[in-house]
Structure 1
């Protein structure tokens, strides 16, 4: 196609947004049909009298929302919109409509946190009572802007062997708030950020909100592709690299020691910083995986470390912490104060006593025993039911498996999500983990944190039946 009817107006709306909206409306009105080729970037630039970057930005936004798909060497084509348009919103809306009562009717493979059924309620209740007896009304009054000093001391002593300063530890309301605060404090419009491809959808939302220049680099089994990372860093002004060091969400990948060393060295050479989201590193089932965070290996103050207790402890408690290099400490602390002055004082004090009394370690050991057994049961069941239709890796820990549909399977992942929902099984489509949803339409994630062995068996059998119906 050489021409489409687009009119650019002189107003406050950026030109690329005007182009994007008009093409989007044409696709939705079926004036541009599925598979139809859009004008080349050069042709549209000449037609609209705009620069190349404007058209590229418009096409990229259309691609990110699933309206078009580029084909290398051929151009950009309209794609079938049903099942793709606003997939992230559709997925979220579906889950919102499933309340706790109706959730019981489903086999839930979407869980990202440990099951609350394992949480030692009576022990924690006793800990809270001990805190109230010890501290009285003071336990309910928020006094320390950086977080309860006792908890910060306990974190430094129990998790860092006193290798970090208590002044560098900031208590936050979970990893998501930690990421929000770091972004608000340090990331500005057009700052270059490298992220793993795919990555955590919450991180994508935060960086998009800050209007950062986001560049994706494929993640491999042992971490991000180093060669591609270095090539990008050489050609672009990169300020941050965001990564998940253990059992990455969604792929389950864990960084090797060698890649950690390489990335830390690149950070020194090319002057960028690493935002490390330490995700689920407590749950390690493979004896070959040893825990060593980027932060513990960081001798050049290049790592901003974010950790949540909510993933493995109890999601409703919403406590995590951030450790930042001294040069960023004040900005991050001010951003926390401006965002949310208080993280529950009572819960902070209770968590401190829970950790210092040895309950934390016992609980994590218990979770490892439970989920290690479930992890290997998952592997056996996956080999039994899904191996013919999907490819996947063994993460060696965490709570998820990530799958790629084989070529002979004709369904895409969002359509699979819808079919599974009809069969009372919930999975997570891969589209939500990519900037361009087209990149994720052959992937999906299954979590085993909320499912019993019987539910695993039944749920995977139902998924298998659906996939078999779509084999060539």
Structure 2
């Protein structure tokens, strides 16, 4: 415990409020003010009850309240530890609002390296219109009526046939409104308050938000080339009862790292040994630009039913439509179905039918081929400029696919958050690294730049402005 127990001297009890509530509230304020830091060990029950001259049951109840509210977590045989619930919420809102307030008229003049606006759509709109017309002509009013909370059966069967060679049990599949909803449904279905979750460090901010909302205890493991650091990963497993591990197996957001086959196999072995489940977010595996990366997801290797697989079609097939699916072990079938029902009852029937026809007619293959060619051009254009003009300014791990680069600043006197505001004034938007960590002390010298919403001309313009700003701060 980095804080002294003397800090509790400032607690004075009132007569009309139970003491355990006053103690919990006092500790909560210390955590929020960072007087007690994230991960600090709280005093033992005996130590604090003696210091405050209260019954040990009072301290037990105070700690229970802190845990139920997400301000503390328990380590078996070790004690209770402080937990900061939400980090940098002010900046997160400011970052989000900066993009939301952009008007349609402003979009053509900005460079969006975040990928969070809709400055362009590469999907063939005529194909979508034709597909929807076919569905309406074929199904009439039925196209607008949902027959199942868990998904249009023909779509589920088509996904199983086309992408999985009919190897899945279709009763274990649920259609969802994008990957974010998939993560949310899984979290509601399998996690309880104070369950322990391992995530990659850094990781997708949307997943962090979901786990925090569920009041889970989040353990971060650094990600390196080929996947997470397995030594640190197993060290956490040995000391804590882990419920699940959330991973993005290909072109991880934000780092762009893909898992090696060796690490996938070892993590699956550890899942069986330590009895935890793997939530696999198959993010952008269609966008592989180099032959050195082979597509073998965790789910393909899953022999012990340890993988909950989530796939989104939003960025690849039908941007903005928000469709995806999840596949879970049978043991979670009922809980995830209930979670889906309680979340939104149903997903758009018309869009499900349109997607089913789009896939079954093999139009998706043409579009994926086109996207690979176009995004590969952007990937190479961005990489060429980074390698040529940014050698002294940033470093990165080559993703070899996906839609972004994750950059680490070299000898730069400002943080990536400060850089965000400077670039924003010049019409260029990046995603600071702080968005991908649980602690505000991490990610200060990293940021993500993507090419999902930037053509080659905008890449050149945006990187030129980025270079000018970095040179101003180069030590």
In 1, Cα distance between equivalents of 2:22 and 2:363? 56
The residue number in structure 2 matching 1:18 is: 26
Q: 1:15 to 1:470 in 2, by over 3 A?
A: farther
The residue number in structure 2 matching 1:74 is: none
The residue number in structure 2 matching 1:366 is: 370
1:253 and 2:240 matched: no
Q: 1:115 to 1:284 in 2, by over 3 A?
A: farther
In 1, Cα distance between equivalents of 2:418 and 2:303? 47
1:420 and 2:423 matched: yes
Correspondences of 1:163-174 after superposition (within 5 Å): 163-174=167-178
How does the TM-score come out when normalised to structure 1?
0.87
| CA contact 1:113–1:310 (8 Å) conserved in 2 | no
In 2, Cα distance between equivalents of 1:8 and 1:447? 53
| CA contact 1:194–1:214 (8 Å) conserved in 2 | yes
**Which secondary structure does the structure 2 equivalent of 1:86 belong to?**
helix
The residue number in structure 2 matching 1:265 is: 269
| CA contact 1:8–1:48 (8 Å) conserved in 2 | no
In 2, Cα distance between equivalents of 1:92 and 1:302? 35
In 2, Cα distance between equivalents of 1:23 and 1:246? 36
Q: Could you tell which deviates more after superposition, 54-63 or 123-132?
A: 54-63
C-alpha displacement at 1:19, in angstroms?
Answer: 3.8
| CA contact 2:85–2:212 (8 Å) conserved in 1 | no
**Which secondary structure does the structure 2 equivalent of 1:242 belong to?**
strand
Q: 1:132 to 1:440 in 2, by over 3 A?
A: same
C-alpha displacement at 1:40, in angstroms?
Answer: 11
Gaps of 5+ in 2: 54-58, 74-80
The residue number in structure 1 matching 2:164 is: 160
In 1, Cα distance between equivalents of 2:150 and 2:31? 48
1:188 and 2:192 matched: yes
**Deviations 1:54-75 (Å, cap 9, x if unpaired)?**
899599556963xxxxxxxxxx
In 2, Cα distance between equivalents of 1:262 and 1:192? 20
C-alpha displacement at 1:213, in angstroms?
Answer: 1.4
| CA contact 1:431–1:441 (8 Å) conserved in 2 | yes
**Candidates 437, 447, 450, aligned match of 1:447:** 450
1:228 and 2:232 matched: yes
| CA contact 1:113–1:315 (8 Å) conserved in 2 | no
| CA contact 2:108–2:119 (8 Å) conserved in 1 | no
**Deviations 1:135-162 (Å, cap 9, x if unpaired)?**
1111111112221111001000011011
The residue number in structure 2 matching 1:326 is: 330
Q: 1:163 to 1:454 in 2, by over 3 A?
A: same
| CA contact 2:107–2:119 (8 Å) conserved in 1 | no
C-alpha displacement at 1:315, in angstroms?
Answer: 2.9
**Deviations 1:206-250 (Å, cap 9, x if unpaired)?**
101111111110111111111111111111101101100000000
Q: 1:141 to 1:64 in 2, by over 3 A?
A: closer
Correspondences of 1:225-374 after superposition (within 5 Å): 225-374=229-378
Q: 1:187 to 1:57 in 2, by over 3 A?
A: closer
The residue number in structure 2 matching 1:468 is: 471
**Which secondary structure does the structure 1 equivalent of 2:408 belong to?**
strand
**Which secondary structure does the structure 1 equivalent of 2:405 belong to?**
strand
| CA contact 2:200–2:246 (8 Å) conserved in 1 | yes
**Which secondary structure does the structure 1 equivalent of 2:320 belong to?**
helix
**Which secondary structure does the structure 1 equivalent of 2:294 belong to?**
coil
1:456 and 2:464 matched: no
Q: Could you tell which deviates more after superposition, 106-115 or 150-159?
A: 106-115
| CA contact 1:306–1:321 (8 Å) conserved in 2 | yes
**Which secondary structure does the structure 2 equivalent of 1:437 belong to?**
coil
C-alpha displacement at 1:403, in angstroms?
Answer: 0.9
1:121 and 2:129 matched: no
C-alpha displacement at 1:116, in angstroms?
Answer: 4.6
**Deviations 1:40-65 (Å, cap 9, x if unpaired)?**
977x9798787998899599556963
| CA contact 2:185–2:336 (8 Å) conserved in 1 | yes
The residue number in structure 1 matching 2:78 is: none
**Which secondary structure does the structure 2 equivalent of 1:143 belong to?**
coil
What root-mean-square deviation, in Å, do the aligned CA atoms of Structure 1 and Structure 2 show?
2.8
The residue number in structure 2 matching 1:146 is: 150
1:132 and 2:119 matched: no
The residue number in structure 1 matching 2:76 is: none
**Which secondary structure does the structure 2 equivalent of 1:317 belong to?**
coil
How does the TM-score come out when normalised to structure 2?
0.86
Q: 1:343 to 1:245 in 2, by over 3 A?
A: same
Gaps of 5+ in 1: 33-38, 66-83
| CA contact 1:127–1:354 (8 Å) conserved in 2 | yes
| CA contact 2:41–2:82 (8 Å) conserved in 1 | no
| CA contact 2:72–2:82 (8 Å) conserved in 1 | yes
C-alpha displacement at 1:117, in angstroms?
Answer: 2.8
| CA contact 1:175–1:277 (8 Å) conserved in 2 | yes
